[in-house]
């Protein structure tokens, strides 16, 4: 029986490690899943470990299912059939199984109910706090994953808002206990409390699971770490697999120190590095290695390419985000015509807010696509509401759109009134029925008739405003129609920004001499053609791309301020790890792009190219970083500043990000950082 077939030397070494702690530091594309599965099968089939004494913890159900299927197949191929099985599950599934057996230690019954996210929101709203529900739930989740009780939080609050949140946390937890409910975080938090208060239970479990494996260890948080310490209190047979260079979830509680300090937590631990990469070309790995080596918080490894050479990583600059997507769309069309499947192509972005520009570009180019992890822009409720108003401006007989927004925002025209209206119309168009004033009033009443009359007058007013100017139309719309009034306060800002994006897009199309009806028709056609997206370009944030791979990857928005995204409390090392993840999603070709002006969240931003492009040795850190084409922003060049207007460069000093330019704006001389100027 040979469980080592197809493994390289380091992978085989990891598989054959039996007793004692093991850190398997697995680089991107290094075959870590194959290694983990082979080790699991090896322990059972070659060493003779009882499968029931093996616990393997993952972060997703998909990962645990895949590991279970592949390990079973590997054992079956070796002719091994065991009456027992290892426990392969997520951390939270383990917590659920644990609580079913031990929650009585907290004086509670094991017939508890697990709440979903909406249930938790309803409970929090019942406490009528002025703080946003989402903020409170996020804080409670953070406290539980940091193993902090409401009492402990209350003893250490630093301001009045934190105290208010802590009081809600206390009331919320009391409510759950009284009603024998648990939320998602309780699955681990309560399990931790039970093991902390009952060391004998932790010891019993540790003896039961004498071999423990953990996947994606770099993503563990303080609570998961403490549970693992309990589970290994009687032995050190813990094998963790992860990549410190792909630790990108610090914002949701993951603690990179868990993997960085593993050999300190387990002094006799062995560390094996998987550095042979079977995914990407040498050209892609060269830039990924160059970028990530700039981090100081890492154990250190260099990905070694096992594939043949391919194309150099391409970096492109464009004047605007629209031009960026036009160019990328042309490249995708060319790739598709040459035989590449759309499903082998991905577009990645740092911020979900960039998805709108990507979506618009692919729509214009009629390229099938799917948005992963976010609702397609034109399918968002508030966007569909505005589009319904626009459709009515073109066609008052569009009853589908009329019924969607007649009472949105609320005008007192509820479901009962709507049913009377449809019954009275009896198959006629609502507009036609409305024009028969006497019949319509008898059917729906004077008040509702007046509401309907005012609604049609509003549509006419919007059309008149648009005929005058787009600015007048937008002002009229926002003043007369409060679309966001029906949404929770916590959601309003995000939805407001979405509407701002929609109006900006509409303005751009109308300014390009496109009729409103043509704009709406294009949206309708695209939505119909996009229903079948099995063979489509994948569009997603870099965070969601982790664990995936594509032959061709386009990473947009490579500008300082967008990628890396740096604000208050920003972590440049985690941003750099995100860049590393983005680069290593590509198998054959990697394309990176930045623009001189990006329209985002309703305003234009002019930012310099991402520092990552220099750190990965893709751009030279020289004056050329502030050029358009091959021209250098030197003396005599004409430039534009968003406040001071057009001027002429008199002198340029320094280089790279520190380059300063002395400019004459109509005789007024100013010294300005080059990154704030646009070359004309």
User: Residues 186, 216, 399, 615: which is the catalytic one?
Assistant: 216
Contact 226, 220 (CB under 8 A): no
CA proximity to 185, closest of 92, 292, 77, 261: 92
User: Residues 10, 32, 39, 380: which is the catalytic one?
Assistant: 32
What separation in angstroms does the CA of 484 have from each of 248, 408, 456, 489, 641? 33, 9, 20, 9, 35
Contact 388, 462 (CB under 8 A): no
Residues present in the chain in total: 680
User: Residues 72, 218, 246, 584: which is the catalytic one?
Assistant: 246
Is residue 480 annotated as part of the catalytic site, yes or no? no
Helices (H), 198-256: 199-208, 222-231
d(CA 222, CA 198): 19
Token pair belonging to 298 = 């890492």
Q: Would strands 537-541 and 369-371 be described as parallel, antiparallel, or unpaired?
A: parallel
User: Residues 33, 374, 476, 628: which is the catalytic one?
Assistant: 33
Contact 448, 434 (CB under 8 A): no
CA proximity to 550, closest of 596, 584, 522: 584
Is residue 215 annotated as part of the catalytic site, yes or no? yes
User: Residues 144, 376, 577, 585: which is the catalytic one?
Assistant: 585
Token pair belonging to 510 = 């109308």
Tell me the three state secondary structure of residue 609.
Answer: strand
User: Residues 215, 243, 474, 573: which is the catalytic one?
Assistant: 215
Give the long-range contacts of residues 78-84, CB within 8 A, separation 24 or more. Answer: 78/1, 78/3, 78/41, 78/45, 79/1, 80/1, 80/44, 80/45, 82/44, 82/51, 84/50, 84/51, 84/52
Contact 582, 354 (CB under 8 A): no
Is residue 33 annotated as part of the catalytic site, yes or no? yes
Interior angle at CA 105, CA 102 and CA 111, nearest 5: 55
d(CA 152, CA 143): 9
Is residue 585 annotated as part of the catalytic site, yes or no? yes
d(CA 166, CA 181): 19
DSSP 359: H
How many CA atoms lie within 13 Å of 224's alpha carbon, on the beta-carbon side? 26
Cis check: omega of the bond before 49, within 30 degrees of 0: no
DSSP 360-423: HHHHHTT--EEESSS--GGGSHHHHHHHHHHHHHH-TT-HHHHHHHTTSS--S--HHHHHHHHH
251 backbone φψ class: left, alpha, beta (φ>0; ψ -120 to 50): alpha
Tell me the three state secondary structure of residue 426.
Answer: coil
Contact 116, 135 (CB under 8 A): no
d(CA 401, CA 395): 10
Q: Would strands 638-641 and 603-605 be described as parallel, antiparallel, or unpaired?
A: unpaired
Helix axes 415-425, 446-468, angle to 10 degrees: 90
What separation in angstroms does the CA of 221 have from each of 188, 217, 248, 478? 11, 9, 12, 44
d(CA 462, CA 154): 53
Token pair belonging to 95 = 């917590």
Contact 558, 594 (CB under 8 A): yes
Contact 156, 166 (CB under 8 A): no
d(CA 268, CA 384): 60
Catalytic residues: 32-33, 215-216, 246, 585
């Amino acid at each position: 029986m040979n469980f080592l077939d197809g493994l390289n030397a380091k992978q085989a070494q990891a598989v054959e490690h039996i007793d004692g702690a093991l850190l398997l530091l697995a680089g991107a594309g290094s075959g870590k899943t194959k290694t983990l599965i082979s080790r699991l099968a090896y322990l059972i089939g070659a060493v003779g470990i009882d499968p029931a004494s093996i616990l393997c913890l993952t972060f997703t159900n998909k990962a645990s299912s895949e590991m279970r299927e592949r390990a079973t197949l590997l054992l079956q191929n070796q002719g091994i059939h065991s009456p027992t099985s290892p426990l392969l599950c997520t951390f939270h599934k383990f917590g659920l199984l644990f609580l079913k057996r031990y929650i009585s230690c907290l004086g509670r019954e094991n017939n508890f109910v697990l709440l979903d996210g909406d249930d938790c929101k309803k409970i929090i709203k019942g406490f009528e706090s002025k703080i946003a529900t989402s903020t409170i739930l996020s804080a409670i989740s953070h406290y539980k994953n940091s193993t902090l009780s409401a009492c402990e939080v209350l003893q250490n609050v630093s301001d009045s808002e934190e105290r208010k949140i802590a009081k809600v946390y206390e009331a919320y937890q009391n409510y759950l206990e009284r009603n024998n409910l648990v939320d998602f975080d309780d699955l681990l938090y309560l399990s931790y409390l039970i093991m902390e208060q009952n060391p004998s239970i932790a010891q019993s479990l540790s003896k039961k699971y004498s071999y423990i494996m953990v996947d994606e260890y770099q993503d563990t948080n303080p609570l998961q770490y403490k549970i693992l310490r309990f589970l290994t209190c009687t032995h050190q047979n813990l094998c963790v697999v992860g990549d410190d260079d792909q630790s990108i979830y610090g914002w949701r509680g993951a603690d990179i120190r868990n993997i960085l300090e593993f050999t300190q937590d387990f002094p006799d631990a062995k560390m094996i590095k998987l550095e042979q990469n079977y995914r990407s070309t040498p050209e892609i790995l060269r830039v990924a290695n160059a970028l990530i080596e700039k981090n100081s918080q890492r154990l250190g490894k260099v990905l070694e390419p096992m594939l043949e050479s391919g194309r150099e990583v391409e970096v492109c600059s464009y004047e605007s985000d629209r031009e960026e997507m036009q160019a990328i769309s042309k490249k995708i069309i060319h790739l598709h015509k040459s035989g590449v499947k759309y499903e082998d192509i991905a577009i990645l972005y740092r911020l979900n807010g960039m998805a709108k520009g990507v979506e618009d570009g692919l729509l214009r180019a009629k390229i099938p696509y799917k948005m992963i992890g976010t609702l397609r822009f034109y399918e968002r409720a508030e966007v569909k509401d505005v589009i319904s108003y626009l459709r009515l401006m073109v066609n008052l007989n569009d009853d589908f759109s009329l019924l969607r927004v007649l009472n949105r925002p609320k005008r007192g025209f509820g479901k009962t009134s709507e049913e009377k209206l449809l019954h009275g119309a009896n198959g006629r168009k609502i507009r036609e029925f409305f024009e028969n004033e006497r019949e319509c009033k008898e059917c729906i009443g004077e008040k509702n008739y007046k509401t309907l009359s005012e609604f049609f007058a509003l549509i006419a007013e919007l059309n008149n405003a648009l005929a005058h100017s787009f600015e007048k139309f937008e002002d009229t719309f926002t003043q007369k129609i409060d679309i966001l009034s029906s949404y929770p306060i916590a959601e309003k800002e995000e939805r407001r920004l979405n509407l701002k994006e929609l109006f900006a897009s509409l303005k751009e199309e109308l300014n390009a001499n496109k009729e409103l009806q043509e704009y709406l028709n294009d949206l309708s056609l695209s939505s119909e053609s996009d229903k079948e997206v099995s063979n489509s370009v994948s569009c997603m944030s870099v965070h969601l791309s982790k664990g995936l791979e594509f032959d061709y990857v386009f990473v947009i928005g490579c500008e300082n301020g967008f990628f890396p995204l740096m604000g208050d409390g920003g972590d440049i090392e985690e941003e750099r790890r995100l860049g590393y993840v983005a680069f290593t999603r590509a198998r054959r070709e990697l394309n990176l792009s930045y623009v001189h002006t990006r329209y985002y969240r309703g305003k234009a931003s002019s930012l310099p190219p991402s520092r990552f492009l220099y750190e990965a040795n893709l751009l030279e850190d020289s004056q050329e970083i502030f050029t358009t084409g091959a021209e250098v922003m030197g003396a005599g060049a004409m430039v534009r500043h968003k406040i001071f207007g057009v001027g002429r460069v008199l002198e340029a000093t320094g280089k790279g990000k520190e380059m300063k330019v002395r400019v004459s704006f109509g005789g007024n001389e100013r010294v300005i950082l080059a990154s704030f100027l646009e070359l004309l």
